[in-house]
C-alpha cells in the first residue's frame, strides 16, 4: 500500500497509516498536523509543480525554450545571482554564462548511463503554479525563496514569471550539472517534497496554499489508456460502437486497476475516520465533523467505461432531437 503523507511544518501525517491496527497506530495529532488537516478538509488551493521533460538535451532546444519564456525578449529573466536579463539575445547570454556548450560536449561516459542512448539533459525545466486569483508577485517571491534554498550554491538557475493565463506561474530553468560536477536527479519523491516546500513558502507570503497527494483528496481515477483517451477527446456516445468496443477490450485490466483503487480509497477513508476519532478525543469536535463531511463528499471512483458513458450522455444532450432519432 503506498503511503500518502500530508506535511505541515516539520510534522507528517500519513492518512492511510491512521487506519491501520497495531503498535504503530498513532494516538496524538500535533498542531502542525492539525493545521494540515484543516487546510485539506476546507480544500485550500493546491500548488502545482510540473516538470517539462521534453527538450533540454541540446543548445538549440534550450535556446528555444528560453526564447519562449521571455517572449522573445519582452519579459525579464531573473537569475540566481540577481541579474535581470531582458531584450533580444538574453537567452543566448544565459547559455554562454552557464557554459552549456561545454556541458553538451562533456566526454564523461557516465552521463549517458541509464538514458537509453539519449543525450543527457543540459537543463531541467519546471513550472510552479497556483490557481487563478493568486497574486503573481507572491508566487514569484515564494519561488525565489524555494529556488535559493533548493539550488543555491549548487546549481545555476533562472526564472520567468508568466501572467498571460488566469493562473500565475513561474518557469524555472536549472542547469543540470552542478558546481561540483554532479548532475541533478529529480524523482517523484523529489517533486512531492518540492510541492510541500513551495506551499510552505507561499503560506509565508500570506497565501493560503496546500500540497497533498491526490488520493487523500479523493482523486483516484485510473489513468486513461491511449485508446480511451482518444474516444474521450472525440466525445464518445452510443453511436460510436467501433470506438467503444475498442475500449471495452480493456475491461479485464481496468477491473484490476479499479480493484486496487477501491482498496486505496478504503484505506484512505479508514484513515480519515481514525483521524476524526483522534480529533474528538483531543476536544476538536468541530474539525472532526469537518473531516467526516469531507469524506462524505469525496468524488466517486469511475472506470474508463463509466466516464465514456457519461461523456456520451453529455454529447447526446447537446444533439438535436432529430439526430438522436436516426
192 and 95, same structural domain? yes
User: How is residue 84 written as a grid cell?
Assistant: 535581470
pLDDT at 250: 56
Averaged pLDDT score across all residues of the chain:
82
For residue 106, being part of any structural domain is answered with yes
Give the whole-angstrom CA distance, residue 276 versus residue 269.
Answer: 11
CA neighbor of 158 nearest in space, from 138, 137, 143, 136:
143
The answer to whether residues 103 and 110 touch, using CB atoms and an 8 Å cutoff, is no
54 and 194, same structural domain? yes
56 and 200, same structural domain? yes
287 and 242, same structural domain? yes
The answer to whether residues 304 and 224 touch, using CB atoms and an 8 Å cutoff, is yes
pLDDT at 91: 95
Give the whole-angstrom CA distance, residue 246 versus residue 237.
Answer: 13
Whether the model pTM is above 0.85: no
Give the whole-angstrom CA distance, residue 49 versus residue 37.
Answer: 21
Read out DSSP for 193-234?
Answer: HHHHHHHHHHHHTT---B-B-GGGGT--PPPPPHHHHHHHHH
245 and 315, same structural domain? yes
240 and 192, same structural domain? no
Cα 276 to its chain centre, rounded Å, is 27
Q: Write the CATH number for 75.
A: 3.30.930.30
Give the whole-angstrom CA distance, residue 130 versus residue 168.
Answer: 6
Domain boundary among 204, 233, 262: 204
End-to-end CA distance of the chain: 49
Beta strand segments in the chain, E: 5-8, 11-14, 48-51, 77-79, 84-85, 123-129, 157-162, 169-175
Residue 7 burial (CB count, 10 A): 21
Tell me the average confidence (pLDDT) per consecutive run of 10 residues in the chain, 326 residues long: 38 65 69 93 96 88 95 96 94 95 70 60 96 97 98 96 96 96 92 95 97 84 50 46 51 76 89 95 97 94 65 60 47
Could you tell me the residue range of the domain that residue 76 belongs to? 48-204
pLDDT at 236: 44
235 and 182, same structural domain? no
60 and 183, same structural domain? yes
The answer to whether residues 2 and 271 touch, using CB atoms and an 8 Å cutoff, is no
224 and 198, same structural domain? no
Q: CB-based contacts of 262: which residues, under 8 Å, 6+ apart?
A: 301
135 and 270, same structural domain? no
Amino acid at each position: 500500500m503506498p503511503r500518502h503523507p500530508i506535511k505541515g511544518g516539520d510534522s507528517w501525517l500519513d492518512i492511510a497509516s491512521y487506519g491501520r491496527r497495531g503498535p504503530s497506530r498513532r494516538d496524538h495529532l500535533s498542531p502542525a498536523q492539525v493545521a494540515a488537516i484543516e487546510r485539506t478538509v476546507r480544500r485550500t488551493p493546491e500548488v502545482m509543480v510540473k516538470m517539462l521533460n521534453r527538450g533540454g538535451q541540446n543548445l538549440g532546444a534550450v535556446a528555444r525554450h528560453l526564447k519562449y519564456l521571455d517572449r522573445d525578449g519582452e519579459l525579464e529573466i531573473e537569475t540566481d545571482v540577481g541579474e535581470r536579463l531582458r531584450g533580444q539575445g538574453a537567452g543566448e547570454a544565459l547559455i554562454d554564462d552557464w557554459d552549456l556548450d561545454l556541458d553538451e560536449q562533456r566526454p564523461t561516459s557516465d552521463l549517458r548511463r541509464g538514458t537509453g542512448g539519449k543525450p543527457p539533459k543540459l537543463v531541467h525545466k519546471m513550472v510552479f503554479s497556483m490557481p487563478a486569483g493568486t497574486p503573481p508577485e507572491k508566487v514569484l517571491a515564494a519561488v525565489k525563496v524555494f529556488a535559493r534554498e533548493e539550488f543555491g550554491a549548487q546549481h545555476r538557475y533562472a526564472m520567468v514569471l508568466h501572467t498571460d493565463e488566469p493562473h500565475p506561474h513561474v518557469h524555472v530553468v536549472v542547469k543540470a550539472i552542478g558546481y561540483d560536477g554532479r548532475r541533478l536527479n529529480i524523482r517523484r519523491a523529489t517533486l512531492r517534497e518540492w510541492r510541500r516546500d513551495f506551499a510552505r513558502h507561499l503560506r509565508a507570503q500570506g497565501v493560503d496554499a496546500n500540497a497533498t497527494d491526490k488520493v487523500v483528496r479523493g482523486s483516484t481515477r485510473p489513468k486513461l489508456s491511449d485508446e480511451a483517451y482518444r474516444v474521450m477527446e472525440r466525445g464518445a456516445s452510443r453511436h460510436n460502437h467501433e470506438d467503444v468496443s475498442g475500449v471495452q477490450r480493456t475491461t479485464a485490466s481496468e477491473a484490476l486497476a479499479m480493484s486496487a483503487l477501491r482498496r486505496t480509497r478504503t484505506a484512505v477513508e479508514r484513515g480519515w475516520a481514525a483521524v476524526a476519532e483522534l480529533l474528538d478525543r483531543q476536544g476538536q469536535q468541530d474539525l472532526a465533523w469537518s473531516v467526516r463531511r469531507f469524506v462524505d463528499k469525496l468524488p466517486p471512483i469511475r472506470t474508463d467505461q463509466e466516464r465514456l458513458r457519461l461523456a456520451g450522455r453529455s454529447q447526446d444532450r447537446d444533439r438535436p432531437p432529430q439526430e438522436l432519432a436516426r
